[in-house]
Amino acid sequence: MEKVTAEIEVDAPVRRVFDQWSRLEELPSFMSMVEEVRRTGDDLTHWVVRVAGVRREFDARTTELVPDERISWVSVAEEMHSGSVRFTPLGADRTRVAVEMGWAPENFIEKAGAALHLDQRAVEMDLKRFKENIEGEGRDGGDRDTVAGTDPDIAP
């Protein structure tokens, strides 16, 4: 399994950063390889991604969701994708976002791309787009009910 790690600091409070990231249906707005994410249950999502021109679909289970701290997941049927995003407040209006993902390249093009660290660069660019999106929003707070299946006052 290939591992990718990347992090970025954004000028926004941790609550808003976490809330924005947890709106999984909006991930395609800044994640270049994600075409669609939709919730299929309290802790289940269906993903459509395009890696090296190959369209893949898989279901993932949220394994950990701690508001304002971290989100972790793993693919359900076969271990082809897993990861976590950690959110660290660096002050009232600054947050570090750290992504760690594992994925299993299947074909020659995917394996070549991983060897050339194209997956690493793609995640780094996605984080830069996320930073631009959230810093450009200029809105205060976030709606906790956007995190399906969680109560904002109770960690899972």
Is there a contact between 37 and 28 (Cβ–Cβ < 8 Å)?
A: yes
- Considering the entire predicted model, what is its pTM? 0.81
Q: Determine, yes or no, domain membership for 150.
A: no
Nearest to 13 by CA among 98, 131, 93: 93
Identify the residue with better confidence: 75 or 2: 75
Length of the chain: 156
Its domain, for residue 58, covers: 2-142
Which pLDDT score is estimated for 109?
A: 67
Q: What is the pLDDT of residues 93-125, one digit of tens each?
A: 999 999 998 877 676 666 666 666 677 788 899
Type of residue found at 65: L
Which pLDDT score is estimated for 86?
A: 98
Domain count, the chain: 1
For the record, the structure tokens of 58 come out as 């898989």
Is there a contact between 141 and 21 (Cβ–Cβ < 8 Å)?
A: no
State the CATH number of the domain containing residue 111: 3.30.530.20
